[in-house]
Chain A
Amino acid sequence: MQPTRALLGMRYRKLRLTTKDVNKGFYKGTGSGSMGRHTSRGGYIIEWNKVRTFVCPDLTGFKLTPFVTNNVKRTYGQYDTKLGPKDPQEYLARWKSENGLD
């Protein structure tokens, strides 16, 4: 059996590296993210704090949609300080008024 002619010789060097290329040491992920760690014997231990869990809340009776009507003009917020919405003083003041005395 022969490899595809297009992959022979110097033409292969111009292609992008895959996970199967290069000797030991070259790692290329596939976009799934790290879920654990490798063991010295070639195994893999899953670290469950790294594994993603998707929590979907109960959407019954929820009226908001991904869209806002075009009749409402776009208005940007007006803030007193330079930091604006990122201002921690603003955050604290709002927390005190809304949440502090629960």
Chain B
Amino acid sequence: MATASAVRPSLGAAFRLTSSNIPKRISPSLTQTSPLSTAAPLLKRHTYPNARSNKDMSKSRGQSALRRTGLRWRLSVSDDPLPKPKPREELPPVEVDPDHGLWDFFPNRETVAASPEDDMKHGRGWMVEELRGKSWEDLHKLWWVCVKERNRIATGAWERERGRLGFGKSEAQGRDREVRITMRGIKHVLTERFYAWEDAVKLAENDPEIDLSGKGRPFTPKEYLEGEAAEEEVLEFKAEEEGEAVVPPPQGKAQGEAARL
């Protein structure tokens, strides 16, 4: 069967035989004409013996990125049009999550730092006496509210410094001081409460109403029991001290879960 190459002349052959590619002085072997006397020597370029090469040793001659000269040799993509960047106004708006947690670092969505007037609008820090009445959950949450407020103040100070926005450092420091006073108070209250608890556990060992062993209820108030039962409990306590067998105190009327301290 006839192969494709036999039907169509190869591209290389076609290239060679186009009129523009044939050198003006063709060698006698390609054509059928008689050899000319000057054919062969004319093909060779005239060079002197021991002549130095004439090539440009500097491959990047004239090329400068700073002066934007462009490339020295054309590339296959040289004629391709360069893409032009879109102006900033035409770019699609950046999608922002309105509920992102990082928004809490700023006082509002428009500014990076609170103005001095807004920073001055604060009260005083919590007093220790005011914090003593609060539960663990409230104190824990208040602590983290303080942490977030301090982060907001610190972000504002950083941005004010970086962007040279102007005054406001002194007001921010005053606000930060009050927040730190509150945090100090929270730590004090929790430490105090812990130490008092430690001492109370020690005291409770000698308290007849309290039983922290895990068996039965931790607290059995004396008023709950009847008169004889209260005396019985006191006797039991004395017996316990003397090392005799202990009868566990009777259960109170109210049913409740044994809440360990």
Contacts and interface: CB of A to CB of B under 8 A. Distances in A.
A66 B219 contact: no
A57 B137 contact: yes
A64 B196 contact: no
Interface residues of A, number: 29
Contacts of B195: 86
Nearest to A96: B219
Contacts of A65: 145, 149
Contact of B144 (A59, A68, A89, A95): A59
Interface string A59-102: 10010111111100011110000000111111110011001111
A62 B143 CA distance: 12
Interface in B211-260: 218-219, 221, 252, 254, 256-257, 259
A91 B200 contact: yes
Given A66-B149, A67-B122, A68-B125, A57 B141 contact: yes
A92 B132 contact: no
Interface in A23-82: 56-57, 59, 62, 64-70, 74-77
B196 A88 contact: yes
B204 A92 contact: yes
Contact of A88 (B130, B178, B202): B202
A76 B128 CA distance: 8
A97 B199 CA distance: 18
B203 interface: yes
Given A86-B196, A92-B204, A99-B259, A57 B122 contact: no
A101 to B, nearest CB: 6
B122 A95 contact: no
Interface in B130-158: 130, 132, 137-138, 140-142, 144-146, 149
A102 B196 CA distance: 21
Contacts of B203: 88-89, 92
27 contacts: A57-B141, A59-B141, A59-B145, A64-B142, A65-B149, A66-B142, A66-B145, A66-B146, A66-B179, A66-B183, A67-B179, A67-B182, A68-B123, A70-B123, A74-B127, A77-B132, A88-B199, A88-B203, A91-B197, A92-B204, A95-B219, A99-B259, A99-B261, A100-B259, A101-B221, A101-B256, A102-B257
Given A64-B141, A87-B196, 18 more contacts: A59-B141, A59-B145, A62-B145, A64-B145, A66-B146, A67-B123, A67-B125, A68-B130, A86-B195, A88-B196, A91-B196, A91-B197, A92-B200, A92-B204, A92-B207, A99-B261, A100-B221, A100-B259
